[in-house]
Amino acid sequence: MSVSTPEIIRHVAIAGNPNCGKSTLFNALTGMRQKVGNYPGVTVEKKTGRFYGSHGETMNLLDLPGSYSLQIRSPDEAVARDVLLGRLDDTPRPDVIIAVVDASNLERNLYLVAQLLEMKIPLVLALNMVDMAEENGITVDVQALETALGVPVVPTVAKTGHGLVPLRQAVSKSPLATPTRRAPLPLVIEREAAQLAARLDVAEDVRFPEALLLLTLHEAALRDLGLPTALLQEVHAAQQRVRDASLDPTAAPVEARYAWIQGLCEKAVHKAGGPQLSLSDKLDAWLTHRFWGWAAFLFAMALMFFCIFTIAQYPMGLIDDASGALSDFVKAHLPDSDLRGLLTDGIIAGVGGVVVFLPQILILYFFLGILEDTGYMARAAFIMDRLMSRVGLHGKSFIPMLSSFACAIPGIMATRTIENRKDRLVTILVAPLMSCSARLPVYAIMIAVLMPMANAFQKAGVILSMYLVGIVAAFTMAWVFKKGLLKGETPMLLLELPPYRLPSWKTVALRMWERSGLFLRRAGTIILSLSILLWALATFPKPSDPKASSTEALETSAAGQMGHFIEPVIKPLGYDWKIGIGLIGSFAAREVFVSTMSIVYNVEGNDHEDTAPLRDTMQHEKRPDGSPVFTPLICIGLMVFYVLAMQCISTVAIVKRETNSWRWPLFQIGYMTALAWIGAFVVYQGGRLLGFH
Amino acid sequence: MNPNLDHLLVSGIIIGAAFFILRRFLPGKKSSKKGCGSGCGCGSVQKK
* CB pair distance less than 8 Å for B36 and A342: no
Q: What is the pLDDT, as a whole number, of residue A554?
A: 86
In this prediction, residue A185 carries a pLDDT of 92
> What pLDDT is stored for residue A356 in this prediction?
84
Q: B7 near A338, Cβ under 8 Å?
A: yes
A161 pLDDT tier (thresholds 50, 70, 90) = confident
Does the residue A515 lie in any domain? no
* Nearest-angstrom CA–CA distance, A577 and A587: 15
Nearest CB to B41: which of A46, A522, A657? A522
The verdict on A120 and A236 lying in the same domain is no
Kindly report the average pLDDT of chain B as a whole number. Answer: 67
| Beta carbons of A643 and A579 less than 8 angstroms apart | no
B42 lies within 8 A of chain A by CB = yes
Q: Are residues A166 and A40 in the same domain?
A: yes
Nearest chain A residue (CA) to B44: A410
Stronger pLDDT, A407 or A113, i.e. the higher one: A113
What are the backbone dihedrals phi and psi of residue A270, each rounded to the nearest 5 degrees, phi first? -125, 125
Task: Judge contact between A618 and A630, C-beta under 8 A.
Answer: yes
- A517-529 mean pLDDT: 85
Mutate to test the interface with A, among B8, B30, B31, B42 (most CBs of A within 10 A): B42
Return the minimum-mean-pLDDT range out of A74-88, A188-202, A233-247, A398-412. A74-88
Range with the lowest mean pLDDT among A14-23, A522-531, A577-586, A607-616? A607-616
The pLDDT value given to residue A513:
86
A chain contacts of residue B40, beta-carbon cutoff 8 Å: 407, 409, 522, 648, 650-651, 653-654
Cα separation, A433 vs A645, whole angstroms: 8
Same domain, A89 and A196: no
Residue A429 confidence (pLDDT): 95
Give contacts of A653 with chain B, Cβ < 8 Å.
25, 38-40
pLDDT value at B16 more than 90: yes
Nearest to A532 among B17, B38, B41 (CB): B17
Amino acid at position A352, single letter: G
What's the confidence (pLDDT) of residue A6?
63
Q: What is the mean pLDDT of residues A626-644?
A: 94
Q: Is A218 on the interface with B (CB under 8 A)?
A: no
C-alpha Rg value of chain B to the nearest Å: 16
CA–CA separation, B26 vs A536, rounded Å?
Answer: 21
**Best mutation site among A539, A650, A659, A661 for testing chain B: the one with the most B CBs within 10 Å?**
A650
Local confidence band at A678 (pLDDT 50, 70, 90 cut-offs): very high
Cβ–Cβ < 8 Å for A408, A434:
yes
Q: Identify the burial level of B1 via C-beta atoms within 10 angstroms of its C-beta, where 0-12 means exposed, 13-18 middle and 19 or more buried.
A: middle
* Same domain (yes/no): A77, A209: no
Residue A37 has pLDDT above 90, yes or no: no
Residue A486, strand partner residues: none
Q: What CATH number did the domain enclosing A76 receive? A: 3.40.50.300
Lowest mean pLDDT among A279-293, A643-657, B28-42: B28-42
The per-residue pLDDT for A563 is 93
Q: What integer best gives the mean pLDDT of chain A?
A: 85
Nearest chain B Cα distance for residue A648, angstroms: 9
Inter-residue contact A66 to A20 (CB < 8 Å)? yes
Mean pLDDT value of segment A59-72: 82
Q: Based on the domain organization, do A207 and A156 belong to the same domain?
A: no
Nearest chain B residue to A411, by CA = B44
Q: How many CB atoms lie within 10 A of CB A324?
A: 16
DSSP state, residue A669: H
**Could you say which DSSP state residue A266 is in?**
H
- Do the Cβ atoms of A260 and A185 come closer than 8 Å? no
Are residues B38 and A526, on separate chains, in Cβ contact within 8 Å?
A: no
- Shared-domain flag, residues A196 and A158: no
In this prediction, residue A578 carries a pLDDT of 92
- Predicted confidence band of residue B33 (pLDDT cuts 50, 70, 90): very low
Going by pLDDT thresholds of 50, 70 and 90, the confidence category of residue A116 is very high
Mean pLDDT for A414-419 is: 72
Q: Measure the CA angle with vertex B19, ends B15 and B23; round to 5°.
A: 175
- Residue of A532, A588, A653 lying closest to B38 (CB–CB): A653
Q: Which pLDDT does position B15 carry in this prediction?
A: 94
> Alpha-carbon distance A42 to A19, whole Å?
8
Q: What is the mean pLDDT of residues A134-159?
A: 90
B38 and A521 within 8 Å at the Cβ level: the answer is no
Structural domain includes residue A118: yes
Q: Among A202, A227, A246, which residue terminates a domain?
A: A246
What is the arithmetic mean of pLDDT over A318-322?
Answer: 89
In this prediction, residue B36 carries a pLDDT of 45
Domain boundary among A228, A246, A264: A246
Nearest to A396 by CA among A422, A375, A417: A417
The pLDDT of residue A490: 61
Rounded average pLDDT over A142-167:
91
Together in a domain, A55 and A152: yes
A146 and A18 assigned to the same domain: yes
Q: What is the mean pLDDT of residues A92-113?
A: 91
Tell me if A650 and B18 make a contact (CB, 8 A cut-off): no
A80 backbone dihedrals φ, ψ, rounded to 5° = -60, -50
Greater pLDDT, A414 or A343: A343
Mean pLDDT within A287-298 = 89
User: Is 90 exceeded by the pLDDT of residue B26?
Assistant: no
B-facing residues of A in 411-430 (CB < 8 A) are 413
Task: Give the burial string for B10-39 (b: 16+ CB within 10 Å, else e).
Answer: beebbeebeebbeebbeeeeeeeeebbbbb
Residue A330: the pLDDT is 94
Over the Cα atoms of chain A, what is R_g? 30
* Whether residue A197 is found in the same domain as residue A166: no
- Does the pLDDT of residue A387 top 60, yes or no? yes
Predicted confidence at residue A122, as pLDDT, reads: 93
A156-159, Cβ contacts within 8 angstroms, sequence gap of 24 or more: A156/A25, A156/A126, A156/A127, A156/A128, A156/A130, A157/A128, A157/A129, A157/A130, A157/A131, A158/A21, A158/A24, A158/A25, A158/A28, A158/A100, A158/A126, A158/A128, A158/A129, A159/A21, A159/A24, A159/A28, A159/A129, A159/A504
pTM: 0.66
What pLDDT score was predicted for residue A560? 92
Q: Band the pLDDT of A637: cuts 50, 70, 90.
A: very high
Euclidean distance between CA atoms A256 and A259, whole angstroms: 5
Domain range for A209: 187-246
Q: What gap in Å lies between CA A128 and CA A133, rounded to an integer?
A: 9
Amino acid at A106: L
* Span A455-509, pLDDT tens digits: 888 888 999 999 999 999 999 999 999 888 777 766 655 666 777 888 888 878 8
The residue ranking higher by pLDDT, A555 or A381, is A555
Count of domains in chain A? 2
| Distance in angstroms (rounded) separating the CA atoms of residues A636 and A684 | 8
Alpha-helix runs per DSSP H in A70-186? 75-84, 106-117, 130-135, 142-149, 164-172
Interior CA angle at A302 toward A296 and A304, to 5°?
105
CA distance A272 to A339: 75
Model pLDDT, residue A604: 58
Phi, psi dihedral angles at A507 (to 5 degrees): -65, -45
Beta bridge partners of A271: A138
User: Hey, is the C-beta of A522 within 8 angstroms of any chain B C-beta?
Assistant: yes
At A611 the pLDDT is 43
On whether residue A452 sits in a domain, the answer given is no
Q: Are residues A81 and A201 in the same domain?
A: no
Residue A525 scores a pLDDT above 60: yes
Binary contact (B6, A338; C-beta < 8 A): yes
pLDDT tens-digit profile of A196-255? 888 888 878 888 888 888 888 877 777 777 778 888 889 899 999 999 998 888 888 888
pLDDT, residue B27, reads 58
* Residues A654, B18: C-beta atoms closer than 8 Å: no
pLDDT at B34 over 60: no
Domain ranges of chain B: 1-48
pLDDT greater than 60 at residue B32: no
Give the residue, A82 or A562, on which the prediction is more confident. Answer: A562
Predicted pLDDT at A369 = 82
- A186 upstream amide cis, omega within 30 of 0: no
